[in-house]
């Protein structure tokens, strides 16, 4: 199945820095910033692509560089009579993209620290890869997992169709039971795969896919099956942070702490609002946040005026601030009376990761004890909630 470079990022490279070309050198590097040796191992990909007589193929993959972050490597080699050979080094098995834009050819696979043989053809995206244990594990996993996913899709379609046709409650329950059953079977298959392949990057990749809101208990159980080495890796730490963010942004739980700078450079913590109901809004940019809905913004100002003296506060987080002076001018023009924070003011991990932000804007209502009481409210929902709690 073809995937773009964006798919590679979302699937397997959660921690990236700016892409850069890095040519293979020796088999170990030293992290200059931390004095940490990175152990690289060599790989070779010998390939044959039927129908690709000449030109170049490009191999795009990632490797750990400074500060345990990963960056892209782009290596190109000449193709002669369909044959090519690429060599380099990587620290761990990683997802790779092989492409030739002249022929609009793109395939992806697991690049391992071995000698691998690639065989394909320009008229389809089917290929054969030998010599990569991680690719073999991926094929084994997806042979069953994808089949279960297809069955799950069919069951969900039956459920949706039944609701559309307004079937009886008994029929809907039967469809729902069938859907839940195949979902459980699929999840348990994946869990057992991880349990029997605890040190596999395929298992780690599955962890990124299954760590989602409403799935925390399952994700924690499957995560425990991984080896200590994978759990303590940078990818493992990212999953732990994601799980903590999901828990912290679940209604009823204590909301995550954060420290961000306001537009004046003053540091502000979530706990600074202790004792108040806090509406925290997160937006991608100031222009979109304050210009898209004038009526909503005006309604929010009215609510702020009505409840600011009754234990209610508002704080906005702008993830990307291009120009502080322009932002200050915009806030003055829009007459924004509440605090505005910079989401890019140096917090690690980033605020979008800390709060598990999956869409913009995101709204959170936190109570005086620091617990989340509501999220993704409409302005009408907020108005009703404030009438209830701020008397």
Cα–Cα distance for residue pair 338/49, rounded to 1 Å:
60
Residues 123 and 142 in one domain: no
Same domain (yes/no): 297, 230: no
Whether omega for the bond prior to residue 349 falls within 30 degrees of 0, making it cis, is yes
Element holding 65 (H helix, E strand): none
Instruction: Tell me, yes or no, whether 75 and 150 share the same domain.
Output: no
38-49: string of b/e by CB count within 10 Å (b at 16+)?
bebeebebbbbb
**Is the Cβ–Cβ distance between 96 and 111 less than 8 Å?**
yes
CA–CA separation, 14 and 267 (whole Å): 28
pLDDT at 77: 95
Contacting residues for 364 by C-beta, under 8 A, at least 6 apart:
249, 255, 279, 280, 281, 282, 355, 372, 374, 375
Number of CB atoms found within 10 A of residue 236's CB:
18
Same domain, 118 and 154: no
Distances in whole angstroms, Cα of residue 25 to Cα of each of 19, 22, 111, 168: 18, 9, 18, 67
- Higher pLDDT: 354 or 69? It is 354
* Alpha-carbon 196 to chain mean position: 25
Q: Kindly state whether residues 160 and 227 are assigned to the same domain.
A: yes
What percent of the chain clears pLDDT 90, i.e. is strictly above it? 75
253 is a domain residue: no
What's the average model confidence in pLDDT over 357-375?
Answer: 94
Of 214, 248, 282, which marks where a domain is finished?
248
Q: Average of pLDDT values for 143-172?
A: 94
228 and 272 share one domain? no
Q: What are phi and psi of 46, to 5 degrees?
A: -95, 125
Give the residue from 373, 379, 142, 157 showing the smallest Cα distance to 276.
373
pLDDT score at 22: 32
* Co-location of 119 and 162 in the same domain: no
Q: 248, 283, 309: which is the final residue of a domain?
A: 248
In a domain, 254, yes or no: no
Q: What is the pLDDT of residues 156-169, one digit of tens each?
A: 999 999 999 999 99
pTM of the model: 0.79
The whole-angstrom separation of Cα 150 and Cα 182 is 10
- Is residue 303 assigned to a domain? yes
Whether 117 and 87 have beta carbons less than 8 Å apart is answered as no
Chain centre to alpha carbon of residue 22: 25
- Asked if pLDDT for residue 8 goes beyond 70, the answer is no
Convert the pLDDT of each residue in 54-75 to its tens digit.
889 999 999 886 556 778 999 9
CATH number of the domain that 125 lies in?
A: 2.60.40
DSSP code for 335: T
Domain's final residue, options 129, 155, 173 = 129
Q: Count of CB atoms within 10 A of residue 257's CB?
A: 11
Same domain, 330 and 208: no
| Mean pLDDT in residue range 351-359 | 91
Q: In terms of domains, do 326 and 281 share one?
A: yes
**Partners of 30 in the β-ladder:** 37
Output the pLDDT for position 17: 30
Structurally, the chain folds into a number of domains equal to 3
Same domain membership, residue 332 and residue 235: no
Peptide bond between residue 105 and the one before it cis (omega within 30 degrees of 0): no
State the Cα–Cα distance between residues 30 and 118, nearest whole angstrom. 31
Q: What are phi and psi of 108, to 5 degrees?
A: -130, 155
Identify the three-state secondary structure at position 306: helix
Please check whether residues 149 and 97 belong to one and the same domain. no
Q: Are residues 321 and 375 in the same domain?
A: yes
Q: Which domain range does residue 291 map to? A: 259-389
Determine the Cα–Cα distance for residues 57 and 370; give it in Å rounded to an integer.
54
| Per-residue CA distances from 70 to 9, 94, 274 (Å) | 11, 11, 38
Q: Count other Cβ atoms within 10 Å, centred on residue 387.
A: 12
Across the range 26-49, mean pLDDT stands at: 69
């Amino acid at each position: 199945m073809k995937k773009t470079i964006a798919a590679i990022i979302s699937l397997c490279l959660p921690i990236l820095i700016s892409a850069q070309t890095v040519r293979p050198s020796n088999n170990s590097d030293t992290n200059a910033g931390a004095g940490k040796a990175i152990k690289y191992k060599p790989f070779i990909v010998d390939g044959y692509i039927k129908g690709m007589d000449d030109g170049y193929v490009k191999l795009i993959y990632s490797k750990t560089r400074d500060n345990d972050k990963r960056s892209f490597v782009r290596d190109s080699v000449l193709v002669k009579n369909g044959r090519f050979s690429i060599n380099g080094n990587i620290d761990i098995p990683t997802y790779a993209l092989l492409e030739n834009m002249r022929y609009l050819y793109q395939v992806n696979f697991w690049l391992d620290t071995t000698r691998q043989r690639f065989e394909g053809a320009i008229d389809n995206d089917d290929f054969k890869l030998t010599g990569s244990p991680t690719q073999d594990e991926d094929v084994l996993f997806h042979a069953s997992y994808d089949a279960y996913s297809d069955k799950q899709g069919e069951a969900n379609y039956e459920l949706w169709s039944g609701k559309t046709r307004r079937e009886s409650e008994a029929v809907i329950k039967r469809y729902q039971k069938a859907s839940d059953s195949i979902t459980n079977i699929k999840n348990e298959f994946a869990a057992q795969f991880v349990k029997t392949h605890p040190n596999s990057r395929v298992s780690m990749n599955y962890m990124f896919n299954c760590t989602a809101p409403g799935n925390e208990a399952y994700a924690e159980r499957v995560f425990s099956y991984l080896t200590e080495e994978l759990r303590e890796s940078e990818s493992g730490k990212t999953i732990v942070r994601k799980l903590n963010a999901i828990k912290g942004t679940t209604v009823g739980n204590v909301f995550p702490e954060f420290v961000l700078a306001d537009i004046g450079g003053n540091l502000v913590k979530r706990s600074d609002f202790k004792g108040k109901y806090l509406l925290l809004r997160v937006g991608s940019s100031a222009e979109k946040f304050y210009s898209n809905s004038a009526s909503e913004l005006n309604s929010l100002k009215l609510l702020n005026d009505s409840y600011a003296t009754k234990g209610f506060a508002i704080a906005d987080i702008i993830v990307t601030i291009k120009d502080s002076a322009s932002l200050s001018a915009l806030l003055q023009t829009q007459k924004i009376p509440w605090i505005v924070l910079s989401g890019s003011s140096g917090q690690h991990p980033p605020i979008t990761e800390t709060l598990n932000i999956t869409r913009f804007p995101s709204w959170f209502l936190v109570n005086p004890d620091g617990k989340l009481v509501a999220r993704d409210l409409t302005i009408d929902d907020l108005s009703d909630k404030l009438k209830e709690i701020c008397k």
